[in-house]
Amino acid sequence: MKITDLKCAVIGQNPVVRITTDEGIYGYGEAENSKPYLKPHVLFYKQYLIGEDPTNVERVMLKIRRMGSFKPWGSSVSAIEMALWDIAGKAAGVPVYKLLGGKVRDRVRVYNGGVRFPMSGHSPQDYADNMAKMKAAKEGFSIIKAAVGFHSGMTGSVPGFFYGDLQGGPPHSNRGPLTERGLKHVIACVEAMKAVLGDEIGLALDCGPGWMVPDAIRLAKALEPLNVMWLEDLITGDYMPYVLADVYREVTRSTSTPIHTGEQIYLRQNFKELIESHAVNIIGPDPADIGGIAELKWVAEYADLHGILMAPHGIFDGLIGLAALVQVAATLPQNYIAFEYPVARPDWWYSIITGLPDPIVKNSLIDVWDTPGLGVDFIVEEAKKHLSEEDAGFFD
C-alpha cells in the first residue's frame, strides 16, 4: 500500500487531514478548532508522505516528526499521525487500540472540559452557579475542570487582581505576582465550587500559565483541605515553547495538592526532565499536539514507571480527535485518570460524522467501540455542505 495524496480542509474551525492510498483506503486526523490557520503547515509535509506505506506508521513519522515543535506547531504532525493509524487499522480490519497493544479497559473515563455554560461573572457565586449547571449535565461527569486565575476572566474583572499591566486577548498572556486580594478571590471561588460539588465530583483547576512560584505555593497549600484533583499549568503551558521542570518541581515539593502540566509539550523528549525529576504529579499531553496517539501512549507508560499520573488534554480536538482519544485511552496503563472531553464546534459536526455511540458519554464513561481504524467517518454528502469553495475536492 502506498500513500497517494495528503489533503487538508478547514471544516468549521477544525483543520481535518485526509490521507488516501492506492488501495482505496483513506484515513482522517484532526487538529484543534482553535487552529484554522494550520492548513498550509499540514500540506508542507505532503512531499515527505507520497509513496510511503501508511501502515508503517513509525517509519513515516520518522520522516516528519523532527520538523514539528511545541503547540501549535506539532499539531500538523499529530493530525497526520492519527490519519496513519486510521488507515493501518482499516487495512488490518481492527480498531486502532488493537495495534497499540490492546485494551486495558472497556470504558474510558472523561472529565468535563468541553460542556460549558456561559459565566455571568467571576464572583464566587458565579462560579458556584456555573458548577451547579455542569454537575447537572446529562453526561454525569465525575470530574469537572474550571478555569481560574490567569486562565480566566478574573484578571480583568477583579480590581487589583495582580501586580502587573493587564494584557488583552488570548492566549492567556498575563503573568505576574498576585495581590492578597487576588489570591483570596481565587481561593473563595474554589471554595464556592467545592461547596456545590462536595465529595461526589472531583474539581480540577486550569490556573494559568502566569503564576509566580510563591503565589503558586500559597494557592496550592491553601487548597490542600479541599482535595482538588489538580492545579494545571500554573507556571508554563498553553502556547509556551518550554517546560521549566525545575520550577514546577519547587511547587510540587511544597504541597500535597497535585500539580499538573503538559498540554503544549511536543514529543517524548520534552517530557523527559518533567517525568524523571518528578516535577509534577500529573501530566496532560494532548494527542493533537504531542505528536499523535502513539507518542502519548509512550509518554504515559514512561510516566507510570515514575509514579506520575496521566490526564490527557483534548478540549478542542473535535469528534475525530475524540475518537483518537478513546482509542489510545483504552490502552493506557493504570496511571490513567480521565481525558478532557471535547465537544463538536459548531454543533452541526454531529450531523456529518458517523460511528460515535449515542449518547457518547454515560456516567462520565465512553464505551470503547470495535470498528476498524479510529471507527468514525464522514457522512460525505452532509459534510460537503460545509466545505469552502477552496476545499470542494477534499473528499474526491
Condensed to tens digits (0 to 9), the pLDDT of residues 205-254 reads 999 999 999 999 999 999 999 999 999 999 999 999 999 999 999 999 99
pLDDT at 169: 75
Closest CA to 53 of 96, 92, 22: 22
Residue written as grid cell 505576574? 176
State the total domains in the chain.
2
Q: Give the cell for residue 150.
A: 490567569
User: In the chain, what percentage of residues exceed pLDDT 70?
Assistant: 100
Write b or e for each residue in 250-272: b if 16 or more Cβ atoms lie within 10 A of its Cβ, otherwise e.
Answer: ebbebbebbbbbbbbbbbbebbe
**CATH number, domain with residue 149:** 3.20.20.120
Indicate whether 119 and 87 sit together in one domain: no
56, 141: one domain: no
If asked whether residues 110 and 250 sit together in one domain, one would say yes
Tell whether 138 and 49 lie within a shared domain: no
Does 43 share its domain with 124? no
Q: Which three cell numbers mark 197?
A: 460539588
Q: Are residues 35 and 115 in the same domain?
A: no
**Pair (31, 123) in one structural domain:** no
Same domain, 18 and 145: no
Taking the C-alpha atoms of residue 197 and residue 215, their distance in angstroms, rounded to an integer, is: 25
Share above pLDDT 90 across residues of the chain, in percent, rounded to a whole number:
98
3-state SS class at 378: strand
Per-residue burial over 206-232, b = 16 or more CB atoms within 10 Å of its CB, e = otherwise: bbbbbbbeebbbbbbebbeebebbbbb
**What are the pLDDT digits (tens) for 104-117?**
999 999 999 999 99
Query: What three-state secondary structure class fits 57?
Result: helix
**Whole domain around residue 117: which residue ranges?**
98-373
- Distance between CA atoms of residues 259 and 261, nearest Å: 7
With a cut of 50, list the residues of the chain below it in pLDDT.
none
Q: Do residue 244 and residue 353 come from a single domain? A: yes
